[in-house]
Structure 1
Amino acid sequence: MSRTAPAPITATLTVPGARLYHEVRGSGPLVVLVGAPMDAAAFAPLADRLAADHTVLTTDPRGTNRSPLDDPDQDSTPELRADDLARLVVRVDAGPATVFGSSGGAVTALALVQNHPGLVRAVVAHEPPFAALLPDRERFLAQTDDLIATYLGGDALGAWAKFMAQANIELPEGALEAMFGGHRDPRVLADERRWFAHELRGTVAWRPDLRALRAAADRIVVGIGEGSAGQHCDRVSRALAAALGTEPVLFPGDHVGFVGDPERFAARLRPLVR
């Protein structure tokens, strides 16, 4: 890939209750890269690599960064975000989309193929965090309520510590304070607060329509980071693949491998989006 990839075309689409910032790169079959709460910027290096032979759409999910809401207190649900993606896919008008969704974006992508199957050619669901398929789901949701209350009570570091423990993610000593302590960008803090207050629980509490997903199982790939073994999203991904009667596909890196090594990640993803 050239290191001087063309700048993306940027635009805003007005949808019910929000204005969706999005970027379009390249030409060819449509690939959508989406997260939640991650915004378009997190996917830019991966998008640049795929844009050599694809039209690549990235977006800030509603309520995040450059996609403001009419009502800032509106909760974000996978169904609502999937409806937004459906409108963006129609707007780009480059045919059915292959959708790569990571974390909460994987839940969005699953809701999209479940509710708008005609717009989707394939879905790569990379490490979705929803708990519905796990035997300890009630305990997990209770823990989620507790860590949300901790954050909204003013203890951000305590909430993140509980989140990492719940996700079974081990950080080096001092990493939590370095990542989430001290002075931080006000916009990042605003997005973080919205995620805790209005998005996290709706995402992890999502209940898939397994009948609809099984009907589309030949179009769904479940992805797991090679470095995510034993983590919550690894457990969820394996449970989802088992429910669909498929085998998960391993990707380079961990939960955010596409950020740490977009070159290797793109090489693994490219055969799937073809």
Structure 2
Amino acid sequence: MAKKNINEMSFLDHLEDLRWHLIRICLAVIIVAALAYTFSRFIFDDIIFAPLEMSFPTYEFLCNAGKLLNVETSFCNDRIPLILQNRTMAGQFSADIWTAILAGFIISFPYIIYQLWSFISPGLHENERKHSRGFIIICSFLFFLGALFGYYIITPLSINFLANYSISTKVDNQIDISSFIGLVRSSVLASGLIFELPIVIYFLTKIGLVTPEVLKKYRKFALVIVLILSAIITPPDIASQVIVAIPILILYQVSIYISKIVVRNQLKKESQALTK
């Protein structure tokens, strides 16, 4: 059966179309998750648990930086003072399943964006679709860049700080596996989604909810929000918060520039329409 024209589709037709896009997304995540499950030992030992080793690239870089600046730092310690444990019968199995699903979502992200874009794009004008062909690539690039930032920056900083934080020598850090994986998961996903800020601003500007002037006017408030957000997703030390805040502020500035381009193009189209 041929797909109906966008102008001929009713509200229920749109819902049916959305349902099939969501089904394809779920199937993609499940299939990739099943493949990831077969490589679970590699995912856990070489990816998720890698920040527990002092040979992790972030620790080595910060250790060398500390030596260069003649500053004593915990990044040069022999080991992370942390022991992982499982305290429930199904704990390791649940961790394996949910980690596979998370891997399925991350790896399938470009396809997820493609399906969502396929649902949205028929409602756009031809020239808008033409100028937005790189949307999937840009959106995927920002997400993976953010995920890498979360994995190589936020995760090791959080682990190192929290593992070395102690209220007494009588207390050992014996962390449940679900708590540790939750920290890694939230750091990676939160960073990946935060890096989508320019994309969000682009669409908000397109529909008229945001303008460059508004973004500039509330820049100070945005700075406060960024600092609060940095404090939430990072350990409570100033250095980590600054490291996280810098790329977010850069993304905010990029978003202002993108908003300017969108508004400029809209004004250009309006002037061309008036001259015809």
TM-score > 0.5 by shorter chain: no
More strand by share: 1
**What TM-score results when the alignment is normalised by the length of structure 2?**
0.24
- Bigger Rg over Cα: 2
**What TM-score results when the alignment is normalised by the length of structure 1?**
0.24
